[in-house]
Structure 1
Amino acid sequence: MHIITKFFKLVELPTKVASMIPFLLGSLYAWYYFDTFSTPLFLLMLVSLLFFDMTTTAINNLFDYVKAKKRHGYGYEEHNAIVKYKMNPIFVFILILIMFLSSVFAGLVLVSQTNLVVLVLGFLSFGVGILYSFGPIPISRMPLGELFSGLFMGFVITFVAAYIHSDGGQLATITLLGSQLSININIVEILLILLISIPTILGIANIMLANNISDIDEDIVNKRYTLPHYIGKSNALYLFRYLYYASYLDIPILIYLGVPWWLALAIIITVIPVHKNINTFVAAPSKGGTFHLAVKNFIIISMARVIVLFIAVLLQ
């Protein structure tokens, strides 16, 4: 059990909701909007996505451990599993390799059952996920972490989850015939998915932003110049607050898609706990004390959409 505890801490299992919820949202969107759902493809993407998300988190912890100038203070020895449990970096690297290969295998099987679009988006996501933590200048050490994590986890995951259940041509296709490459994109349909992804995009960006706000002092010591470093802590907290309020802009889109207006408007109720959590975090941002509220807000906001879409499927 102790080994399992170490593993869960290394991959930060509770944070996997940041990829699982967009996955559920996209799957339910396809079920509701396209009236189609494939259980085998759902399970293949679930395995590939979960293993890759755990891989990137483990890489991030390993890279932080290798790059850290100061491994004590700021709670570093508590929130980095490699330090806390005195884990062997070589063993961690082997574990990362196993998870990565498992993710790639499931992903390739998924591609074989769908379209080259899944391969291209999967390749881009793998690249961004690895570059997020690895390389001479990782994305996580730049003021771009919120943008990349929000778009790729909040939108791309939702899009691919919807795409695998569709017939492909409804959203986009990539075909290679001889030396000819053809790309067809349904701009309106993709825009609709982008708009319903607003809560997941902004919610995930805020998880990253809350993490960077909480770690701002430690990050400066370890030469991680994230967004709060450039715009200042007060502006970062201001941005944190209003990104949540902007996440409710998807409600009119849900109504446009045919979700009963009374059901879509019920989402507004979530403003009450979300507003309370915002104020608590802004008053005293910290990794150990209030950071979890950003994750909690993401779950509240995003799961409200998942529940609404699921009820809409049942009503339909």
Structure 2
Amino acid sequence: MSSVSNQNIKASLNERDGFQVWWRLLRPHTLTAAFVPVFVGTMLAALDHGVHLGLFAAMLLASILIQAATNMFNEYYDFVRGLDNENSVGIGGTIVRDGIQPRTVLTLALSFLVVATLLGIYICASSSWWVAVIGLVSMLLGYLYSGGPYPIAYTPLGELTAGIFMGTIIVGISYFIQSLSITWGVVVVSIPVAIFIGAINLSNNIRDRVGDAENGRKTLAILFGHNGAVRFLMCSYILAYGLTLIFIAVGMLPIWSLITLLSIRKAVQSIQGFAGQKSPLEMMPAMKATAQTNTLYGLLLGLSLIFQLVIPFTF
């Protein structure tokens, strides 16, 4: 592709040079998937035991670094396998459009994991060394998601893996390092968070469905087809909000958590944005709305727990 065409694509995607190149490499719209479970897990712990701010900050930064490293592994290995080109949307584009060397991207990803490991040592020393086992498994999954001989991202298990490891497990660890305990209630309450994180992954696969199929991937979006995948995304939203209402009704979440329903508007925008669209570029607003749904739900859920801490409310 000519440099003129490349510039036209960058303009249509509103991509800028300079610092923005490295910022896009992190795929910032996905980083809320790292923030939300740490915030929710910590606030759940605050209700029961209190919060150690140093551990919260370390866990938050480590989680964000692992998510960013996972994004960079995805950027690197998709390029190596020939899946990304100048026309690809939804990627950082630092390799195929900005000329950053693939080795640089890989080195940066590994550096992020090293820093996350150092933060993990602090977390373990301040809580329990059992956290190290789960942390190492999570980092390994972050690599295997896009790397290795059988990348998880190329299978129908991508959404489930992302939801469990970036949702439920991170919520559980965030709670555990504050309280040195874990309950089934915390695990169950984390399910909607896991669903919304999996939805981000699903929305990405819906957008990339045609190109992924041509390159041999077998994601859920490919197996279901465009319309079926959008319906599955809608059912995922319904399940997540339905479970939230059930948890409130049975007392697992405070009544303040009803404010999470304010995020439904973004979920509706997500579904409407995907419906009837064919071009990946046309589906970008829908994917953005999916990420915003996760962000708003997680922030509102965490805030509802803070409200309950400050102004206890029971039936």
Whole-angstrom distance in 2 between the partners of 1:207 and 1:258: 25
Whole-angstrom distance in 2 between the partners of 1:9 and 1:241: 28
Residues 46-85 of structure 1: CA deviation (Å, up to 9, x unaligned): 2221211111111110111111156243547x75321121
Instruction: List 4+ stretches of structure 1 deviating above 6 A.
Output: none
Whole-angstrom distance in 1 between the partners of 2:285 and 2:53: 39
Residue matched to 2:105: 92
**Alpha-carbon distance, 1:266 to partner:** 3.9
Mapped contact 1:195–1:250 kept (Cα < 8 A): no
Mapped contact 1:228–1:236 kept (Cα < 8 A): yes
Alignment partner of 1:274 is 2:267: yes
Residue matched to 2:206: 213
**Alpha-carbon distance, 1:40 to partner:** 1.4
Alignment partner of 1:5 is 2:20: yes
Residues 265-292 of structure 1: CA deviation (Å, up to 9, x unaligned): 3433443443243223223263434221
Whole-angstrom distance in 2 between the partners of 1:53 and 1:69: 21
The one-letter code of the counterpart of 2:274 is: F
Mapped contact 1:196–1:254 kept (Cα < 8 A): no
Q: Secondary structure at the match of 2:85?
A: coil
1:1-316 to 2 correspondences below 5 Å = 2-32=17-47, 34-69=48-83, 71-75=85-89, 79-166=92-179, 168=180, 170-171=181-182, 189=183, 191-248=184-241, 249-257=243-251, 260-261=254-255, 263-284=256-277, 286=280, 287-316=283-312
Whole-angstrom distance in 2 between the partners of 1:258 and 1:18: 23
Whole-angstrom distance in 2 between the partners of 1:216 and 1:276: 20
Whole-angstrom distance in 1 between the partners of 2:84 and 2:61: 35
The one-letter code of the counterpart of 1:143 is: P
Whole-angstrom distance in 2 between the partners of 1:56 and 1:145: 13
Mapped contact 2:260–2:296 kept (Cα < 8 A): no
Residues 102-135 of structure 1: CA deviation (Å, up to 9, x unaligned): 1111111211211133112112211111100110
The one-letter code of the counterpart of 2:22 is: F
Residue matched to 1:175: none
Q: Secondary structure at the match of 2:178?
A: coil
**Alpha-carbon distance, 1:314 to partner:** 1.4
Q: Quickly say closer, same or farther: Cα 1:260–1:101, change in 2 above 3 A.
A: closer
Whole-angstrom distance in 2 between the partners of 1:265 and 1:17: 21
Mapped contact 1:70–1:221 kept (Cα < 8 A): no
Mapped contact 2:158–2:201 kept (Cα < 8 A): yes
Q: Quickly say closer, same or farther: Cα 1:15–1:269, change in 2 above 3 A.
A: closer
The one-letter code of the counterpart of 1:5 is: Q
Q: Quickly say closer, same or farther: Cα 1:72–1:224, change in 2 above 3 A.
A: farther
Q: Please, what TM-score do these two structures have when normalized by structure 1?
A: 0.85
Q: Secondary structure at the match of 1:290?
A: helix
Q: Quickly say closer, same or farther: Cα 1:229–1:277, change in 2 above 3 A.
A: closer
Q: Please, what TM-score do these two structures have when normalized by structure 2?
A: 0.86
Structure 2 unaligned regions, length at least 5: 1-15
**Alpha-carbon distance, 1:255 to partner:** 4.9
Kindly, what percent of the aligned residue pairs are identical? 24
Residue matched to 1:176: none
**Alpha-carbon distance, 1:141 to partner:** 0.9
Query: Aligned Cα RMSD in Å?
Result: 2.1
Whole-angstrom distance in 2 between the partners of 1:58 and 1:199: 26
